[in-house]
Amino acid sequence: MFERKPVADEATMRKLRDFLSPERDLPATPVRLRYLILSQARTGGTFLCEALARSGHAGLPFEYLNPASIKFLNNRLGGGPTVSLLKIIAALEARRTGANGVFGLQLHVEQLSKPLQSIQQVGNWLQRFHRIVMLYRRDKLAQAISLERSIQSAVWHQEPHETGERNPDRWTVDPWLIARHVANLGQQEQLIRGALASFNGPVLVLTYEELDTSFDTAWRRVSAFLDIPAMPADAVYPKLARMRDAASEEMAARFLAALRDSDLAQDPAFASLAAAVKPAG
């Protein structure tokens, strides 16, 4: 759904390879509870999954079905270029289920569009989970800016010791590209809500803003929803740095200024923007 294929820098890929390595596997345990973190890019899914993993009571949730993860898992499973979705999930459950029988998975719903092809199939596939946490972000412009920064820098997550976000000297602001991000993110959220409409189990809806500004409260809600011990929030708080900074605010201001002083009739990018926001027929 994005014009440029998102990529990750080498430091991020090293972390991915480490997390997916056999050394991180858990002893085989029958699954008692399957839960899903259904999210979008830049909504706090990685942050929440790290907190859940740090609790020691929620398995090792992760975005296992993104293209880079799938590639590593295919290699681990010896399946050549492709391994079926069912085989991957079965392999994950055998290796990433906690001692208490809890298995968690983070997923962007568009990652299911290729193997499942229809919203009905996606909805049916979601039934394998007992509980779903839906994450979304109210501030779509901030989400789009964050997404664009990650695409430009190839950095998706940052730890406190990684200063400077390995970022370019100056961020490029293409207002119509950011507007398309906003449109795409809105469409993805509609897709998530549509897929959840037929889900038979309980759903907890949580916003990025709650995780960002009221983590203690958000953590209590998630713990109660998943029926795991209510550990102190300080004990599970992820070691991830906030990537939003003054540059994000500057990019948003430049975007808004372009909207207030633009000549759409003279801007060829507007045609692609109009196509992006056109309602699906």
CATH number, domain containing residue 118: 3.40.50.300
pLDDT at 223 over 60: yes
Cα–Cα distance list, 46 to 40, 64, 123, 167, 183 (Å): 10, 11, 23, 20, 23
Please state, rounded to an integer, the average pLDDT across all residues of the chain: 84
Q: How many domains does the chain have?
A: 1
For every residue of 63-76, DSSP letters joined together read -TTSHHHHHHHHHH
* % of the chain surpassing 70 pLDDT: 79
Q: How far apart are CA 279 and CA 187, in angstroms?
A: 9
pLDDT digits (tens, 9 = 90+) for 207-220: 999 999 999 999 99
DSSP string covering 183-215, please? HHHHHHHHHHHHHHTT--S-EEEEEHHHHHH-H
- In this predicted model, what pLDDT tens digit does every residue of 130-175 receive, in sequence order? 999 999 999 999 999 999 988 887 776 666 555 555 555 567 888 8
Assigned domain for 2 exists: no
Distance CA(176)–CA(276), nearest Å, equals 10
Maximum alpha-carbon separation in the chain: 62
Q: In what order do the strands lie in the sheet with 203-207?
A: 102-108, 33-39, 131-136, 203-207
205: in domain: yes
Domain-located, residue 4: no
The DSSP line for 69-125 is: HHHHHHHHHT-TT---HHHHHHHHHHHH--TTSEEEEEEEGGGGHHHH-SHHHHHHH
Q: Is the pLDDT of residue 28 over 90?
A: yes
Helix (H) or strand (E) holding 177: helix 175-196
Q: Judge whether 1 lies within some domain.
A: no
Question: Where residue 254 falls among pLDDT bands split at 50, 70, 90?
Answer: confident
CA atoms within 13 A on the CB side of 277: 13
* Dist CA 261 CA 279 (whole Å): 26
Q: Say yes or no to pLDDT of 260 above 90.
A: no
Q: What angle do CA 216, 217, 221 make, to 5 degrees?
A: 120
Indicate whether 228 belongs to any domain.
yes
As a whole number, mean pLDDT of residues 99-110 equals 93
pLDDT at 2: 47
Position 3 in a domain: no
Q: Which amino acid is at 33?
A: L
Residue 24 confidence (pLDDT): 94
pLDDT score at 246:
79
> Does 151 fall in a domain?
yes
Name the residue range of residue 39's domain. 10-277
